[in-house]
Amino acid sequence: MVRISRRHLLCGAAALGLLGGCGSPRHQPGIATPQQLHADISVWDADALPSVQVSSSVTVTYGHGIDGLPEFPGDEVRPQDLGGKLFLQLCGDDPAAVRDAASRIRPDGRLRWREQGFCNAERTNGLGFRDGIVVPKTPQEFDDEVWLPDGSTIAVVRRMKLDVGAFGALSTNAQERVFGRRKHDASPLSGGVEVDLSAKTADGEYLIPVDAHVRRAHPLTAGAGLMLRRSYNYAEGLLFISYQRELKSFVNTMYRMTEGDALLRYATTTSSAAFRIPALD
Ligand code: HEM
């Protein structure tokens, strides 16, 4: 067991080799570090993370609520599920250690909502498609798209309920047209390795349908930066979590999606908030 403190978070990040030399900003773990299999996500009306002891196998990430995330068409968010002052993301490969950490870290304030998240080895979501493919990967891409100069970042957290029954009733072909990728290997319907938005059939039809999720959410369509999506499944759907240096990367993408993304027929947002994830000092 270790005592959670800024110093501890810092040491964790250093051990993982995520820190630069003296003077470089020190990022919180749980963002660029490999995604662990289980998570406890909670949003509080509290000012600070308490200093408590948790297992060293658990990654603690926290952030403070910020304004600027609009309500989007189709959102069904009750007042207590909108915004919040403190975000807590506890991740680990051992679900018991994550549960234990969640029971120990009790910020001083009201709990707005909490959800247990999980991912599987194939990284498929509740609709059976692989997620988290097109994201920043290299340190340069993280610097360009995720980190602010002071080492902080912006998180968007949206609890999205999925209509698994209605989606499951579609043929595999129709499901693949919703995403724009194949179900069995996640390859794009355009062929090739990367999504090619301009690829067409001999009849002049787009291979990636006009309402496919990968088209609507694509940075070129959305006119947005590339966000780091680091979502978890939960009992009723997807705990969508994205990290980006500018809130507008998320906002512009979400607006493009609301203008005609087939996936939104099967997904309803029931919680929504944005947070600044400070660097460690
Ligand atoms: C229930 C909700 C959602 C599900 C199940 C879902 C699932 C997926 C899947 C399977 C992919 C293709 C694989 C990949 O590139 O990782 C994808 C791509 C993507 N999604 Fe989502 N997603 C959801 C919501 C969102 C939201 C809310 C946003 C942002 C506003 C978003 C942004 C993106 C982006 C930027 C891509 C990459 C597109 C590309 O360039 O190819 N997704 N999503």
CA of 6 to the centre of ligand 1 (A): 32
Beta bridge partners of 244: 154
Instruction: State in words which class domain 2-277 has.
Output: alpha beta
Helix (H) or strand (E) holding 83: none
Handedness of CA 167, 229, 254, 197 (dihedral sign): negative
Cα angle for residues 106, 250, 257 (degrees, 5° grid): 120
Q: What is the pLDDT along the chain (281 residues), one digit of tens a residue?
A: 545 544 444 333 333 434 444 567 799 999 999 999 999 999 999 999 999 999 999 999 999 999 999 999 999 999 999 999 999 999 999 999 999 999 999 999 999 999 999 998 889 999 999 999 999 999 999 999 999 999 999 999 999 999 999 999 999 999 999 999 999 999 999 999 999 999 999 999 999 999 999 999 999 988 889 999 999 999 999 999 999 999 999 999 999 999 999 999 999 999 999 999 999 97
Give the DSSP H or E segment for 279.
none
Residues 6 or more apart whose CB falls under 8 angstroms from that of 229 comprise 131, 132, 135, 240, 241, 242
Q: How far is CA 193 from CA 16, 124, 134, in A?
A: 30, 18, 11
Measuring from each residue's beta carbon to the nearest atom of ligand 1, which residues come in under 6 Å?
125, 127, 129-134, 160, 162, 179, 181, 195, 213-214, 217-219, 227, 229, 238, 240, 250, 253-254, 257, 263, 267
Which atom of ligand 1 is found nearest the CA of 180?
Answer: 12
Among 76, 124, 134, name the best residue to mutate to test ligand 1's pocket (greatest count of ligand atoms within 8 A of Cβ). 134
**pTM, rounded to two decimals:** 0.92
pLDDT for position 105: 97
* CA-proximal residue: ligand 1, atom 43 (nearest): 131
Cα(102)–Cα(3) distance, rounded to whole angstroms? 14
